[in-house]
């Protein structure tokens, strides 16, 4: 967790990354 918090990611960037992963076919396949 410490290394994750240390990364210079903003809330917006993290949200965009999550949205991109969710919209990807491969990403949705992993969720199901």
> Each residue of 1-32: pLDDT tens digit?
566 666 777 888 888 988 888 887 665 566 55
Q: How far apart are CA 30 and CA 5, in angstroms?
A: 25
pLDDT at 27: 54
What is the pTM (predicted TM-score) of this model? 0.41
pLDDT at 32: 52
pLDDT at 31: 59
User: For residues 1-32, b (16+ Cβ closer than 10 Å) or e, as one string?
Assistant: eeeeeeeeeeeeeeeeeeeeeeeeeeeeeeee
Q: How far apart are CA 31 and CA 18, in angstroms?
A: 12
Q: At 25, is the secondary structure helix, strand, or coil?
A: helix
pLDDT at 23: 82
Residue keyed to tokens 């396949």: 29
pLDDT at 3: 66
């Amino acid at each position: 967790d410490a290394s994750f918090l240390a990364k210079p990611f903003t809330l917006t960037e993290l949200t965009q990354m999550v949205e991109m992963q969710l919209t990807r076919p491969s990403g949705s396949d992993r969720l199901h």
